[in-house]
Amino acid sequence: MFLEVCLPLCQMHKTVLDKYGKPDDVLPGLLGRREQLPPQPLSGMYNKSGSKVRLTFKMELNQVWIGTKGRQRTSSIRNIFANFSDIVITL
């Protein structure tokens, strides 16, 4: 199961990085460490079309806001079924 999920995600990650480069405001990840959600937005990410993306968690509203320069989406935290953390393998 891991390879079935990882290979497409790793390939997509590599494709985005090759096309747009590493974001200048990317946050470092620490393997094996759990952090609480920060009160400020998380930035340093690209979507698949190369737009910078920021995530804002509004726990009091049970929402996550996904914002780019041009638009913002709001989604219920209940819509997030699972998350995983793993080393990004560049192929």
Range of weakest confidence among 1-5, 6-10, 37-41, 46-50: 1-5
Whether pLDDT at 26 is above 70:
yes
Give the chain's end-to-end CA distance (angstroms, integer): 18
Distance from C-alpha of 61 to C-alpha of 76, rounded to nearest angstrom: 8
Domain ranges of the chain: 2-79
Three-state SS letters, the chain? CHHHHHHHHHHHHHHHHHHHCCCCCCCCCCCCCCCCCCCCCEEEEECCCCCEEEEEEEHHHCEEEEECCCCEEEEEHHHCCCCCCCCCCCC
Could you read off the pLDDT of 49-72 as tens digits, one per residue? 888 888 898 889 988 898 988 888
Q: In terms of pTM, does the model score above 0.85?
A: no
Structure tokens at 32: 């094996």
- The model's confidence at residue 77, banded by pLDDT at 50, 70 and 90, is confident
Give the residue-averaged pLDDT of 6-10. 64
More confident residue, 22 or 58: 58
